């Protein structure tokens, strides 16, 4: 069952595949889709460089959310996730710094991880830092949380790619026809080739910061995100985990056309605001989870 008719209309069709030669067109199509969505809340926004990496800064109060965009490590950029970053900044009241990290296939692993880490390192000099990301960006945010264990204030993860081996039951269950096609994602991950990345489903997660993790029913990445949330709890990390029924991968991009996605987006933003507000009182956040 899907949350609304618009989401049901997106499901079905053959598997999507692409080649390296298709990448420029794929990136442009992603930007075009983003440009057709409503703009996010107005606020001071500037493009610049942090830690030697291109960033876009959404200026709010002290404290920083470092955001890594999704797109399978291949597509997505500062423009495709502009509206979502604006919503996060407005909801949390914290400055969001979106990372324009290097992408595959031109820049394989560990370029994207190193770029996100460089921005986090720079932001840590300016107050508390929360890492955030959607889909592949969620994997990059998790990598940053592992690299900066004990130094961050939180994790905000939406439909995260927690398992780049794509070896979870939901991957087979939702392999094709559910917005995110696994055959294509396998190709993209192979271009990125993250053989040296820490596996979040096997790593020691003790000492990681409190987390908001949102997964959705009709997402091939669902079980990986669910398992990551469960492993955080097992490690004693406070977690607010929602598995939203009836939704598809990357639901925040559909909030303007899908009432179910819009409602879930608002729940995520409220959870994000609560985590950020309680960053100095993790026991309070733990008790609410």
The per-residue b/e assignment along 151-168, b for 16 or more CB within 10 angstroms, e otherwise, is: ebbbbbbbbbbbbbebeb
Q: Decide if 247 contacts 218 (C-beta within 8 A).
A: yes
The whole-number pLDDT of residue 92 equals 97
Residue 135 bears catalytic tag = yes
User: For residue 29, what are its two tokens?
Assistant: 């199509």
Using the predicted structure, report yes or no on whether residue 287 has a pLDDT greater than 60.
Answer: no
Alpha carbons 87 and 42: distance in angstroms, whole number:
9
DSSP one-letter string for 13-57: SPPP---GGGHHHHHHHHHHHHHTSPP-----EEEEEETTEEEEE
Burial class (CB in 10 A: 0-12, 13-18, 19+), 8: middle
DSSP 8-class letter at 60: -
Burial class (CB in 10 A: 0-12, 13-18, 19+), 260: buried
* Mean pLDDT value across the chain: 95
Alpha carbons 181 and 183: distance in angstroms, whole number:
6
10-62: pLDDT as tens digits? 999 888 899 999 999 999 999 999 999 999 999 999 999 999 999 999 999 88
Q: Decide if 77 contacts 120 (C-beta within 8 A).
A: no
Q: pLDDT-based confidence at 280, cuts 50/70/90?
A: very low
120-177: pLDDT as tens digits? 999 999 999 999 999 999 999 999 999 999 999 999 999 999 999 999 999 999 999 9
63-76: pLDDT as tens digits? 999 999 999 999 99
Identified catalytic residue from 135, 258, 261, 278: 135
Domains of the chain in start order, with CATH, are 5-288 (3.40.50.1820)
205-254: pLDDT as tens digits? 999 999 999 999 999 999 999 999 999 999 999 999 999 999 999 999 99
């Amino acid at each position: 069952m899907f949350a609304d008719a618009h989401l049901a209309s997106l499901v079905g069709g053959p598997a999507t595949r692409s080649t390296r030669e298709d990448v420029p067109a794929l990136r442009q199509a992603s930007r075009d889709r983003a440009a057709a969505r409503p703009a996010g809340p107005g606020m001071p926004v500037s493009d610049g460089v942090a830690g030697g990496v291109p960033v876009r800064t959404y200026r709010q109060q002290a404290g920083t959310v470092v955001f890594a965009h999704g797109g399978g490590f291949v597509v997505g950029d500062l423009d495709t996730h502009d509206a979502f970053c604006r919503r996060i900044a407005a909801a949390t009241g914290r400055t969001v710094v979106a990372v324009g990290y290097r992408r595959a296939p031109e820049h394989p692993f560990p370029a994207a991880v190193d770029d996100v880490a460089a921005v986090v390192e720079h932001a840590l000099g300016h107050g508390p830092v929360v890492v955030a990301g959607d889909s592949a960006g969620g994997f990059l945010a998790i990598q940053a949380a592992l690299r900066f264990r004990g130094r961050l204030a939180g994790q905000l993860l939406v439909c995260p790619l927690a398992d780049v081996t794509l070896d979870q039951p939901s991957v087979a269950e939702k392999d094709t026809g559910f917005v995110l096609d696994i055959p294509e994602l396998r190709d993209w991950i192979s271009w990125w080739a993250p053989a040296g990345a820490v596996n979040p489903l096997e790593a020691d997660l003790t000492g990681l910061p409190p987390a908001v993790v949102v997964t959705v029913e009709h997402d091939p990445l669902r079980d990986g995100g669910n398992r990551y949330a469960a492993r955080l709890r097992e490690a004693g990390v406070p977690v607010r985990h929602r598995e939203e029924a009836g939704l598809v991968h990357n639901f925040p991009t559909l909030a303007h056309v899908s009432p179910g996605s819009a409602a879930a987006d608002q729940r995520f933003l409220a959870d994000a605001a609560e985590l950020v507000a309680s960053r100095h009182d993790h026991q309070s956040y733990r008790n609410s989870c």
